[in-house]
Amino acid sequence: MAAQDYSNVEHIVIDGASSDGTRDILQARPQHQLRWYSEPDSGIYDALNKGISRAQGDVVGFLHADDEYASTDVLSMIAGCFTDPSVMACYGDLVYVAQHDTSRVIRYWRSGAYHPKQLKSGWMPPHPTLYVRRELYKKIGGFNTAYRIAADYDCILRLFRTIEEQGGRVEYLPTVLVNMRTGGASNRSLKNIIQKSREDWRALRSNQVGGLGVLAKKNFSKLGQFFRRE
């Protein structure tokens, strides 16, 4: 965050009362640069909801533990999108990198421009690259913590439906915004992959986007990410 060339940022850190030394690092940082909270939570999405509830800025985005911005001008590009008041969300591309060698790309997730019909083809933007006006998160009620792995997908479906209803715009930045290390909650084991598919199915059905056909398209669309490069 400190390396970004855009300074008008509210930096909120939500730490789940970890014992890995995170609090020591945060205490050593100048307190005017961030606000941090270290307390128990009920999982990733509970922590994200806490961040949203404490945010005061106009736009909200998330940078998860071990992820990193792909360049120093990511936040400047995002801020540029939101100078247009009709833009309610923007996103970009993401690369999955090796845990211990962030120069080694495992998967390249090229999002492409958004169209409402794409949601019924299993499309979604990479959540770590998605920035949304805070008022929109308030309107939909944040993340549904009944989902343990796929609450981001459910949230995206609700966000984009609300944007369409309000006649807002979604902007695509055709560049890599985030480098994400492999081994996250959704793909660290076969058990998690199966659970995620079950939760994706629930999200599709509850948001009336589709069924098994859409789920299959969503999963198979990931195969190309292992071969595609910038």
- For residue 195, the SS3 value is helix
| Residue 51 included in any domain | no
Residue 13 lies in a domain: no
The residue among 80, 162, 89, 83 whose CA lies nearest residue 126 is 89
Residue 183 has pLDDT above 80, yes or no: no
CATH of residue 102: 3.90.550.10
Q: Is the pLDDT of residue 187 over 60?
A: no
Tens-digit pLDDT profile for residues 63-99:
998 899 999 999 999 999 999 999 999 999 999 999 8
Between the CA of residue 204 and those of 122, 177, 208, what are the distances in Å? Answer: 9, 27, 6
Residue 169 belongs to some domain of the structure = yes
Contacts with 153 (C-beta within 8 Å, 6 or more apart), sequence order: 124, 127, 199, 200, 203
Q: How far apart are CA 230 and CA 111, in angstroms?
A: 12
| Residue 19 CA, distance from chain mean position | 25
Q: Which two tokens stand for residue 132?
A: 């949304």
Count the helix, strand and coil residues of the chain and give each as a percent rounded to the nearest 5: 40, 20, 40
Confirm whether 41 is domain-assigned: no
Residue 21, pLDDT above cutoff 80: no
Closest CA to 111 of 101, 126, 100: 126
Using an 8 Å Cβ cutoff, are 88 and 137 in contact?
no
Q: CA 136, CA 163: separation in Å to the nearest integer?
A: 8
The pTM is what?
Answer: 0.90
pLDDT digits (tens, 9 = 90+) for 121-164: 999 999 999 999 999 999 999 999 999 999 999 999 999 999 99
**In a domain? residue 213:** yes
Q: How many domains does the chain have?
A: 1
Q: Tokens 């299993």 sit at which residue?
A: 122
Tell me if residue 174 falls in helix, strand or coil. Answer: strand
Full residue range of the structural domain in which residue 87 is found: 59-226
3-state secondary structure of 180: strand
Which carries the bigger pLDDT value, residue 36 or residue 92?
Answer: 92
Q: Which two tokens stand for residue 57?
A: 């800025």
